Amino acid sequence: MIPAPFDYAAPNTLAEAFALLEQHGDDAKILAGGHSLIPMMKLRFASPAFLVDINNIPGLSYIREEDGYLRIGAMAREADLDHSELIRSRYPIFTDASKLIADPQVRNMGTIGGNIAHGDAANDHPAVMLAMRAEVVISSAEGQRTVPIDEFFYGFYMTAVQQNEILTEIRIPIPPAGTGNAYHKLERKVGDYATAGVAVQITVDGKGFCTYAGIGLTNVNPTPMRAARSEEALLGQKMTEEAIAEAARLAAEDCNPSDDLRGDEEYKRAMVGVLTRRMIHKALERARR
């Protein structure tokens, strides 16, 4: 399968990239890791007339803590997350997720910015970002704006990123002491998209009461979904077995999965419940360490 014809440029600066996006308008698409876009172009689900390859723009693949945030450049690859000592030692939720995303070759190319900007509820990073209440930095020739993750996903393949803009950074508030997080997805085989996936971040105070709850769901709603009622059910509560079971029940009730080859609606709801309970437990275990 060969994509429809298009023209291509690989600018060396963001300014040049913005100019190209401006010039080609709706005909242009950004090429990051290419591991969602190129398959779609091969299948002719997408046929942009112009590709702006942003791989040659330096300075977009950092992973560092700064000013109270974990800052990840949009062009950081999944493999960079895998190999980052900072991520491995302090953010186990990413290690959970990246092991389940595609396979090593795809992770050598796929970027974290692309994973989110693609706007696909089947991708795994969006749920992780919801759980951690990330902010997305979007840049254009006019400057920068920051969008909370809850206002980022508009609909199927649609996000807050406009035609003349580039997602440049993901910013995650550094979690306080007493925080743990975890992610798991059910997949039929290695490299498959999630049948259902659940990301959880919990903070507990010295007395065992929940002071922060973030729960994001993968592939069980048209857009990446926050399990808002589950979070409310935990906030301010002692983390008892009953409170956790109630949060899991609400997540299963509130999600909107559809029947497909990966399973029917009832099964997926049940799995959301099971995974929510397990990930809360895992996050709590990590919070206590």
Q: Are 157 and 229 in contact (CB under 8 A)?
A: no
Is 99 a residue that touches other proteins (CB under 8 A)? Answer: yes
Instruction: Give whole-number Cα distances, 79 to 123, 193, 279, in Å.
Output: 16, 18, 23
Contact 195, 100 (CB under 8 A): no
Contacting residue, 191, 208, 222, 236, with ligand FAD by CB under 6 A: 191
CB closer to other proteins, 78 vs 231? 78
Q: Using CA atoms, how far apart are residues 266 and 39, in angstroms rounded to an integer?
A: 31
- The partner in contact with residue 267, picked from ligand FAD, other proteins, none with C-beta cut-offs of 5 to 8 angstroms by kind, is none
Question: Residue 200's beta-bridge partner residues?
Answer: 182, 215
Distance CA 226, CA 4 (A): 37
Encoding tokens for residue 224? 């990446």
- Of 43 and 270, the one with the shorter C-beta distance to other proteins is 43
Binding string to ligand FAD for residues 150 to 179, with x set by CB under 6 A, is what? Answer: -----------x----xx------------
Listed in sequence order, the residues at least 6 apart from 189 whose beta carbon sits closer than 8 Å to its beta carbon are none
Q: Contact between 11 and other proteins (CB under 8 A)?
A: no
Compute and round to an integer the Cα radius of gyration of the chain. 19
Residues 94-113 close enough to bind ligand FAD by CB under 6 A: 101-102, 106, 109-111, 113
Among 55, 95, 164, 237, binds other proteins (CB under 8 A): 55
Shortest Å distance, C-beta 151 to ligand FAD: 16
| Residue from 72, 74, 131, 217 in contact with ligand FAD (CB under 6 A) | 74
Binding part of the chain for other proteins, among 97-105, 112-120, 205-213, 227-235 by CB under 8 A, reads 97-105
Q: What does the alpha-carbon distance between residue 22 and residue 133 come to, in Å, rounded to a whole number?
A: 31
Of these partners, ligand FAD, other proteins, none, which one is at the site of residue 96 (CB under 5 to 8 Å by kind)? none
Q: Does 33 bind ligand FAD (CB under 6 A)?
A: yes
β-pair partners for 148: 135
Residue from 104, 148, 155, 176 that binds other proteins (CB under 8 A)? 104
Which DSSP category does 206 fall into? T
CA-closest candidate to residue 203, choices 215, 220, 216:
215
CA dihedral (66, 70, 71, 77) in degrees, to 10, reads 140
Task: Give me the residues that bind other proteins (CB under 8 A), please.
Answer: 1-8, 10, 31, 34-35, 38-39, 41-42, 51, 53, 55, 79, 83, 99, 102-106, 108-109, 190-191
Task: Give me the residues that bind ligand FAD (CB under 6 A), please.
Answer: 29-37, 39, 74, 101-102, 106, 109-111, 113-115, 117-118, 123-125, 161, 166-167, 191, 193
